[in-house]
Amino acid sequence: MVPNFLSVFLKTSQSSDISQSVSVLHGKRFVSYRIGNDAYKIGSLSYWTQLSIWFSQFQWMMVLGTIIVCFLMATVVRASLRRRARLRLQGNE
C-alpha cells in the first residue's frame, strides 16, 4: 500500500492531479475534490487593518467619512472661536 502510494505520488506530485482541498488515491490515480469555502481566516487583524480593508472595498465611504469629520472639526473650532471672542469682548482675557 505505501510503496504504491509513493510511486504514484512521486509521478503525479508536479501535475494538476493533486490539487483542491482533498486528494484521494484511487488505484494508480489521484482524484481531487474541493471541500468548503475558497477562503479561510487564521488569527485576527487590528482595527486599523480592518478599517483599511473596509475602506478599500467601499471607497465612497472614505469621502463620506472625510466630509463628516471635517464638519465635526469645523463645529468644534467654531464653538471654540466664539467662546474666545465672547471672553475677549467681555474683557475677561
Residues 51-78, mean pLDDT to the nearest whole number: 94
Residue 57: all three cell numbers together: 472595498
Examine residue 11 and state whether it is found in any structural domain, yes or no: yes
Examine residue 42 and state whether it is found in any structural domain, yes or no: no
- pTM (2 d.p.): 0.45
Q: Cα dist. 27→33, 35, 66 in Å? A: 16, 22, 62
| pLDDT grade for 86, boundaries at 50, 70 and 90 | very high
pLDDT score at 63: 92
Mean pLDDT of the chain: 82
| pLDDT grade for 29, boundaries at 50, 70 and 90 | confident
Residue 38, pLDDT > 90, answer: no
Regarding whether 51 and 26 lie in a shared domain, the answer is no
Containing structural domain, residue 64: 47-90
Residues 33-57, mean pLDDT to the nearest whole number: 83
Regarding whether 28 and 52 lie in a shared domain, the answer is no
